[in-house]
């Protein structure tokens, strides 16, 4: 899924410029992606962008996020730490954080990692046309390319 998301981010300016799912699926097949990767990515995009949290009003800056038992059991401490860091660094809004967490909860627990959370965060930020501080963006992009872009 990571490679497909990297392709989308690199080849389309934002979510609005993506073709409809059927056409996008054909484009991704032509680019050589596996049909299961394509299906998983398209499903994740649908989950992300049809989520009620996607268009939710911002939460109070004074609110504290308490994770449910299911979330705490499924999400590694490193992922929870990443989400907290991104929000406190103003790289994501609380609503964007919720969308990423919602998407992560649709992934089998054994496949959830910090890199997966970074890639999903990039997908949400790409869809929102959000800008990131350079160093945070570089760290998130490393999840797509395997190494930091800035030197």
Q: What is the mean pLDDT of the chain?
A: 82
Average pLDDT over residues 124-148: 70
The answer to whether the Cα torsion of 57, 49, 4, 82 is positive or negative is positive
pLDDT band at 145 (very low <50, low <70, confident <90, very high): low
Query: Which of 121, 14, 98, 88 is closest to 51 using CA atoms?
Result: 98
Domain edges within the chain = 2-145
Flag whether the pTM goes above 0.85.
Answer: no
pLDDT band at 35 (very low <50, low <70, confident <90, very high): very high
Given a contact cutoff of 8 angstroms between Cβ atoms, the answer to whether 97 and 56 are in contact is no
Residue 111 has pLDDT above 80, yes or no: yes
Tens of pLDDT, residues 15-33: 778 888 889 999 999 999 9
Tens of pLDDT, residues 54-81: 555 556 666 788 999 999 999 999 999 9
Average pLDDT over residues 36-48: 84
The C-alpha atoms of residue 114 and residue 62 are separated, in whole angstroms, by 26
């Amino acid at each position: 899924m990571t490679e497909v998301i990297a392709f989308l981010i690199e080849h389309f300016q934002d979510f609005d410029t993506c073709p409809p799912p059927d056409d996008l699926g054909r484009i991704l097949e032509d680019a050589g992606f596996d049909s299961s990767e394509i299906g998983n990515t398209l499903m994740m995009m649908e989950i992300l962008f049809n989520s009620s949290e996607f268009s939710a009003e911002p939460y109070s800056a004074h609110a504290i996020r308490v994770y449910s038992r299911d979330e705490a059991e499924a999400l590694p401490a490193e992922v929870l730490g990443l989400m907290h860091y991104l929000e406190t660094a103003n790289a994501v809004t609380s609503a964007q954080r919720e969308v990423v967490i919602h998407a992560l909860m649709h992934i089998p627990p054994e496949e959830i990692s910090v890199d997966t959370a970074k890639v999903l965060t990039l997908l949400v930020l790409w869809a929102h046309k959000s800008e990131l501080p350079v160093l945070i963006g570089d760290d998130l992009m490393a999840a797509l390319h395997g190494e930091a872009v800035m030197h």
